[in-house]
A and B are shown apart, each in its own frame.
Chain A
Amino acid sequence: MKQIVRKRGKGMNSVIAAAASVTIALTGVGMASAPASAATTKPVTIVVYPQGSWAENYNPFSPNALPGTAGAMYEPLVQFFMVSGKYQDWLINGFHWSNGNKTLTLNVRKGIEWSNGTAFSANDVVFTFDLMKKYPALDGNGVWQFLSSVSAPNPSTVVFTLKQPDIAAFYYLTSVLPVPQSVWSKIKNPVTYNNPSPVATGPFMLQRFSSQDYLLAKNPHYWQKGRPYVSGLSFPAYTSNSSVELALSRGQVDWGSLFAPDIQKTYVATNPAHHNYWFAQGAPVMLFTNDAKYPFNMPQVRIALSYAINRSAVSQSGEYGYEQPASALGIPPGQKSYINAQAQSQAPTQYNPKKALAILKSVGFKKNAQGQLLMPNGKPFSMQMLVVAPYSDWVQDVTVMAGDLQNIGINAQVKQLQYAAYYSDLQHGTFDTAIGWSFSGPNPYYFFNYAMNSAMTAPVGSVASTNFQRYKSKLADQYLKEYNSTSNPQVQAGLMNKLEQLWVKTMPSIPVVWGAFWNEYSTQNFTGWPTPQNPYTDPGPNDTALELTLLNIRPN
């Protein structure tokens, strides 16, 4: 997760980036920072990712919508926090399940207005879902795959009827960003509409646009009275990681989401009193194994591989320690309330090449005279490790892991591909092992469901949606189904424990390091940012949860 920025600008201009950071590092401290005066009228300057110039697009359905569209302007029904695994009612205040968990009823919050002054109601929500049904290209959460109907019995109630009991649907349904019926019912083609004058419920509204910078100003109709405390937001366009880095170090950017090597030197040291970062640890980066393929179809082999890789070395060497070593259980530290201590301690997390070899030998692997590891079928154990060529940190991660595996006699080879080719191999199951982002949601159920559910996979050669490792287990399917059919927290907790036990006993795939939320912030002009001590929201300006930060920061 959250790797948008760092993954770009690493190919062609890595030389430039490297040279730029060296030059900054040489001078160290003492950069003049922006004048503190006039801070009260200054907008918050935010860089989510470098983009040479902007093209106007505030369509909340579009994955390409400009930063700020979701969260600062369009708001979700419920805010989800990936770091803590918690959620908070937003445009609704309360919901309940009924009809054997096939009906979800939402109570729409009263007193909310669109930025044009009309009232927000349940009808807008129903309209939005109907629009997604009519235009499947708008249905990014794929809700109409499990939704049967949606209705508004009165202006403050929305009723969803599902095809079958589906607790997980809550996240997919309520993270949708409603649009006003009065505006969108007149749009001819909502798929290609770039929505140049957005009407939304959020704390900010569009002030002006230029391809170099766009500004959002306070929405006078915002429902949380007195908020936000800041006057507006500015989103400047920077070409590359290195230009963002320069701007950050000069104090020209208040809030950034940049992966930068040695952030301490290039950012914090340029203004130690005000420049800070908090890279929260989220869902793991995985070493996917192809569980449909010999010898990865043997759980012992996957467990052995998990013991054979040195996660600390990967974290330090490939990720500068910003993405910390993951536990093999795969549940990030912020969601500790879900972690079963026994499963956590049984997980093959600790680097232990001897144990790895012992496990492999116990299932028939042997070493030959040349030190090569032979599979039970007598052939040398060799594998390719796929990685995306321009993602230099991943390439380093995989190189470290390949070295670890070679040390125990496995002929592990790194194979670099462009993203689309790499992703196509993952989807089609034409790989041995591959590094990649895990799919996740606001709690570990989503992670396990995406990774273990046999409905999420496909035979080798066909496209799998999320279960790229092609893991199949009747037990997993059963636990996942039971979990998803009950709204009883105790039953859920019991099933979660079973899922965790099953995970560490079979290791469907191998968590390596936690994915970081890239997040740099300056207290020069604004204070009140989320910190590890006060983690009131997910850090970083990437998701709709950025709204909580925008509502809590104040001008100095």
Chain B
Amino acid sequence: MRYLMRRIIFYVVAFVATITINFFLPRAMPGNPAEALMSKFGGRLNPLALKSIEIAFGLHEHEPIWNQYLQYLGQLLHGNLGTSLAYYPASVSGLIGTALPWTLFLVGLSTIISFVIGIIIGSISAWRFGGAFDTFMSTFFTFTYAFPYFWIALACLYLIGYLWGVFPISGAYSMDLVPTLSGSFVFNVIRHAILPSLTIIFTSVGYWAVNMRNTTITTLAEDYVTMAEAKGITLRRILLRYAGRNAILPNITGFAMSMGFIVGGAILTEIVFSYPGLGNLLFQAVQQEDYPLIQGILMIISFSVLAANFVADVTYSLLDPRVRVGGNQ
């Protein structure tokens, strides 16, 4: 319990630090959001409009920064992330609410699939250590993992999507469809998700497979495995019940942490495939210097990463008793 308490305090401090930095950093930048908005219109906007935009954004009233900070904290407590500037007058939480489900669906599902496939292949590789399967898979995965992601994504987009027309090249669903829960819409969404999802799985599965293989091989060399073998326990049982449980530990941490990053979206994937997720939204926000939206998304991401880390800590302490009681002995 003391271990968990320490962790919780750590996470609270980290979170407060994050939101504070999140508040002050954009305000240290020169210029104001109204000027940044002028950029979007590239000289096309009447110069006199700047005044009206500043009034709309409330920039004409000069509020001391500490008051602004307190207001910001107050708003956060109410779950109010403010108003987007690039999408003014849309609210930041509304925009995040629209984008987040797509990211969770695409990146979340892809990460889970990639993790499961990677762990299975990694275990088999370790089991067949040095064999043909292992040699091939290790080489192949080192290759896919080392490959620049955007290259794979563009190649898939161009070959499979553009040239062969097997899958759609952009969006989360066909633009002429209205989102409903009908079978045809769900099918359409899945069709649109396959290509981006494949590219994520293709480039990330190697990480899990190679890691799982290596940790399993190390574990297989442990004395208790030799002991188990000596007792005549089947290899399959050793792999699943003895070595596997230990070998998967570091991967669980890795997985929990990557779940946190899922919320941030796979920025490159979403941009290449025009997928309307959070990564895409962040990209647009950065381009348009939309500070409230950037703040909102970064806060959601940092919160998820911290939360996922916390879950990893808890899981770890459950799976590994040494962590739980280590300090007392």
Contact = CB atoms under 8 A, between A and B. Distances in A.
Contacts of A211: 98, 276
Nearest to B276: A53
B135 interface: no
Nearest to A23: B158
B169 interface: yes
A53 B270 CA distance: 12
A62 B36 CA distance: 15
Interface stretch (B174-182, B200-208, B218-226, B296-304): B174-182
B42 interface: yes
B42 A239 contact: no
A331 B173 CA distance: 46
Contact of B55 (A9, A137, A437): A137
Interface stretch (B87-95, B106-114, B237-245, B253-261): B87-95
A57 B283 contact: no
Q: Select the residue from B33, B49, B87, B178 with max chain A CB neighbours within 10 A.
A: B87
Contacts of A136: 51-52, 55
B322 interface: no
Interface stretch (A103-111, A415-423, A475-483, A526-534): A415-423
Contacts of A64: 37, 86-89
Nearest to B151: A19
A542 interface: yes
A419 B163 contact: no
B140 interface: no
A425 B31 CA distance: 9
A406 to B, nearest CB: 28
A213 interface: yes
Contacts of A59: 89
A454 to B, nearest CB: 16
A137 B52 contact: yes
A32 B165 contact: yes
Given A423-B31, A450-B47, A2 B287 contact: no
A421 B38 CA distance: 12
Contact of A192 (B29, B89, B165): B89
B71 interface: no
Interface string A1-14: 11110011101110
B66 interface: no
B110 to A, nearest CB: 18
Interface string A48-68: 000111011101001110000
Interface in A380-396: 388, 390
Contacts of B172: 212
A515 B43 CA distance: 10
A511 to B, nearest CB: 13
A425 to B, nearest CB: 8
Given A62-B88, A140-B49, A15 B150 contact: yes
B236 to A, nearest CB: 46
15 contacts: A2-B44, A4-B44, A8-B40, A16-B272, A20-B158, A24-B158, A53-B276, A56-B90, A137-B53, A137-B56, A139-B52, A142-B49, A142-B51, A213-B176, A247-B169
